[in-house]
Amino acid sequence: MEGIVVALFGLILLVAPGASLVFLVWLLGIYLLIAGIFRFVGIFLDSSSWGWKLAAGILSLIAGLAILSNPLWSTTVASTWLVILVGFLAMLQGAAGLIVAFQGGGWSMGALSVLGILLGLFLVINPLIGVGALTLILAIFMLIGGVGAVLQAFRMRRVAASAQQPRRVR
């Protein structure tokens, strides 16, 4: 069931990427509001580290209210920071891959690592292009992952059904 939902979300992202991204940011805002409220409730249930829980609750509430009060602005800012984070992670992964390549990992590892570093630099320098491609990439991954999950569920169901059938002795 979950695979079907993921594939449907992927299809919706492909058909209406802008509206889908705004909807996902709205969900993030609602989640942050609810998480902030639960942080406050958590202080009364378990008073250990109450200062950290209070700070996290206040920050979650502020972030949730900021997102819900300016959803279009939040969509751009949240997506941009996500792309910048992915860019830095790609550069770090590429640097680690280069170290492995120089320690005997091979030229293909080195080439892929250089490509990862270049991709990371591109995303950090020009994140808005990455934001534009973010929904497309997410949609493709969701479609592939959803269809794969559905196929795996059918495969597991078939294996379970064959395991329950008694074997005939000849």
- Single-letter code of the amino acid located at 94: G
Task: Please provide the DSSP assignment of 78-133 as one string.
Answer: HHHHHHHHHHHHHHHHHHHHHHHIIIII-HHHHHHHHHHHHHHHHHHH-HHHHHHH
pLDDT value, residue 105: 76
Q: Indicate the pLDDT class of residue 168, thresholds 50, 70 and 90.
A: low
Query: Mean pLDDT across the stretch 83-98?
Result: 89
Read off the pLDDT of residues 46-61 as tens digits, 9 standing for 90 and up.
Answer: 888 888 889 999 999 9
pLDDT value, residue 88: 93
C-beta separation of 83 from 123 below 8 A: yes
DSSP category for residue 159: H
Burial 106-137 (b: 16+ CB within 10 A, else e): eeebbebbeebbebbeebbeebeebbeebbee
The answer on pLDDT for 140 being more than 70 is yes
pLDDT value, residue 155: 84
Query: Mean pLDDT across the stretch 15-43?
Result: 86
- Domain spans of the chain, in order of start: 2-159
What span, in angstroms and rounded, lies between the C-alpha atoms of 91 and 97? 10
Q: Indicate the pLDDT class of residue 170, thresholds 50, 70 and 90.
A: low
Closest Cα to residue 84, out of 131, 127, 137?
Answer: 127
**Averaged confidence pLDDT in the chain:** 85
pLDDT value, residue 169: 67
What span, in angstroms and rounded, lies between the C-alpha atoms of 67 and 79? 12
The answer on pLDDT for 92 being more than 90 is yes
